[in-house]
Amino acid sequence: MLEAMEIVKSILLILHFVGLAGLFGGWFLQLKAIGRGEAKIPAGMMHSGWLVLASGILLFGVNEMIGGVTMDIRVKLTVKLLVALVVVVMLFLNRKKDPVPSGVMWAAGGLTLANICIAVLWH
């Protein structure tokens, strides 16, 4: 059973990385438009945000089921979940605005980068 859960965890982690790439890449492609005040939220960026959120929640659950999770890891994952939730809600609330306020786009990119840093640097 543990081996199957490790496979599920690996698949979810790959999906999480794909979503993260789409979210950060979508923001990165909007940099010039953000500077001109003409930014839009591409549908792919929104979908990637949902993928990051869903796969992150499922990864949290799989880690709990596998066991060996310390309180430090739970706190880290909770912080990452809250940051991802803020990004997705921000994008969702502004997805139909044309143009999207530059501050919203900078916050989305900055929080996505912060989430990457939390994942890599928080031990």
pLDDT in tens, 42-57: 999 999 999 999 999 9
* DSSP H helices in the chain: 2-29, 31-36, 43-66, 71-94, 102-121
In this prediction, residue 82 carries a pLDDT of: 96
> Could you tell me the pLDDT band of residue 67, with boundaries at 50, 70 and 90?
confident
Q: Considering only the C-alpha atoms of the chain, give the largest distance between any 2 of them, rounded to a whole number of Å.
A: 53
Contact 18, 51 (CB under 8 A): yes
Q: What sign for the dihedral angle of Cα 97, 98, 103, 104? A: positive
Domain ranges of the chain: 2-121
Decide if pLDDT at 1 tops 90: no
pTM score, whole prediction: 0.91
What is the Cα–Cα distance from 58 to 38, expressed in whole angstroms? 35
